[in-house]
Amino acid sequence: MTSSDALEPDPLSLLSPAIKAGVLSEALPYIRRFHGKTVVVKYGGNAMTEERLQRSFAHDVVLLKLVGLNPVVVHGGGPQIDTALSRLGKKGTFVQGMRITDAETMEVVEWVLGGQVQQDIVMMINEVGGKAVGLTGKDGGLILAEKKYMDDKEHPGERLDIGFVGDVVRIEPAVVKALQDDQFIPVISPIGYGSDGTAYNINADVVAGKMAEVLGAEKLIMMTNTPGVLDKNGNLLTGLTTQTIDELFADGTISGGMLPKISSALDAAKNGVNSVHVVDGRVPHCLLLEILTDQGVGTMIRSQ
């Protein structure tokens, strides 16, 4: 953290009382519309590594809970995993946006995601007045997983073994629903477990998408380090349908690390989640702006 980060005020503190009153008035119909609804948030990118953005995220999640929404947080941790691996002299490698995970890397993933990162998020939310509880896929049998293989694009018909990387087989949401009913905010690490107890590293976007489907979420919000989904000229696409996203896949507009993110968003939109939002996590209070105001900060994907 730089000294400028430490001294930079929260943007909301700079608003006049009249403007704040207008913001609250604008939020009222959204609060009424989404009261009691579940919102799954995939938390990652700069929002996890910059202190001012961490604070605004924690405040947003707690506020959403206090006004009657049910936020569920699924977090990533790629930069933290890379830092831990570098201390061991290892470098992360990826195939089609998925981390190749050998046995040693999997141990690091479990320690970083299920320990350090998760507990930091839980404490951050609790410090600003929330009641957060951390979960991994093992808790309450939450995430049953199986080994994932990737299609080899250079050798059609063949598959790539990328180690202890998993696909979601089934999500048992009972433990999440029990926490929500008791006014807790679940914070979920994307680690699944096979029927034999083997741990698998699962892409956090995939877990967030499946969690939103199973919970019947009103919204899935994916925080990223871009303004949203961009066209080939770098322009923001503010509104998309499942049909137009298929076209963006086909012409290569969506590629690399955005592939698992948008694939999960597309699946969620096709499977009952009313709207999916890919938002710029570098914007303070992006969750509140996207959910409770007329002016969003990213791309919204509608189910139809």
Query: Annotated binding site: which residue ranges?
Result: 77-78, 99, 201
**What is the distance between the alpha carbons of residues 194 and 168, in angstroms, rounded to a whole number?**
10
Which residues, 6+ apart, have CB-to-CB distance to 11 below 8 Å?
284, 285
CB neighbours of residue 11 within 10 Å: 12
Give yes or no for a contact between 77 and 201, defined as CB atoms under 8 angstroms apart.
no
**What is the distance between the alpha carbons of residues 48 and 86, in angstroms, rounded to a whole number?**
19
Residue count (the chain): 304
Tally of helices (H runs) and strands (E runs) in the chain: 11, 14
CA dihedral 145, 65, 278, 5 (to 10 degrees): -110
DSSP-derived secondary structure for 164-226: EEEEEEEE-THHHHHHHHTT-EEEE--EEE-TT--EEE--HHHHHHHHHHHHT-SEEEEEESS
Residues forming the annotated binding site for substrate? 77-78, 99, 201
Which phi and psi (to 5°) does residue 71 adopt? Answer: -75, 140
